[in-house]
């Protein structure tokens, strides 16, 4: 916290000396934002792959095959499905993921779909906005020099 306050006080002193330091600060701010959103995008892609991988494990057909045609085994179908789901959930819990709790409720495939179609486009939009701001700042600086 002290380092952050010190850094801000240095920037404020620089702003008072020359207003062009504001542009430098803004450029650095945009670069930091861009790196953040790129890291978030990479993490979302890792999350999507992880969720899709666990979707393949969360296949209830194994339980259905193990039941076969035996009437006594058919009663155990629900128990076998629950056991398979618990096994997948236990394996998934070993991985660090923001979406695993939701995936346990929604299903791994559907949660991957949600992340891919809802969260990822928002991050892509944020990246595009920051890149547009960087471009506009660069163009303004070029016009000032001319």
pLDDT band of residue 29 (cuts 50, 70, 90) is: very high
Q: What is the reported pLDDT for 122?
A: 97
**Between residues 98 and 89, which one has the greater pLDDT?**
98
Q: What is the reported pLDDT for 80?
A: 65
- Give this prediction's pTM: 0.72
Tens digit of each residue's pLDDT (9 = 90 or more) over 36-74: 999 999 999 999 998 898 888 766 545 555 555 555 666
Residue 112, burial from CB neighbour count under 10 angstroms (0-12, 13-18, 19+): buried
Alpha-carbon gap, residue 144 to 146, rounded angstroms:
6
Q: What is the reported pLDDT for 35?
A: 97
Structural domain boundaries of the chain? 2-145
């Amino acid at each position: 916290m002290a380092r952050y306050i010190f850094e801000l006080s240095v920037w404020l002193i620089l702003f008072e000396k020359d207003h062009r330091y504001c542009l430098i600060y803004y450029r650095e701010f945009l670069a930091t934002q861009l790196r953040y959103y790129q890291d978030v995008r990479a993490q979302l892609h890792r999350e999507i792959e992880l969720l899709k991988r666990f979707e393949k494990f969360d296949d209830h057909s194994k339980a259905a095959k193990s039941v076969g045609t035996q009437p006594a085994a058919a009663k155990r179908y629900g128990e076998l499905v629950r056991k398979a789901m618990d096994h997948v959930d236990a394996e998934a819990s070993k991985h660090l993921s923001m979406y695993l709790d939701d995936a346990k409720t929604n299903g791994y495939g559907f949660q991957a779909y949600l992340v891919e179609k809802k969260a990822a486009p928002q991050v892509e939009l944020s990246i595009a906005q920051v890149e547009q701001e960087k471009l506009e700042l660069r163009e303004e600086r070029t016009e000032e020099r001319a």
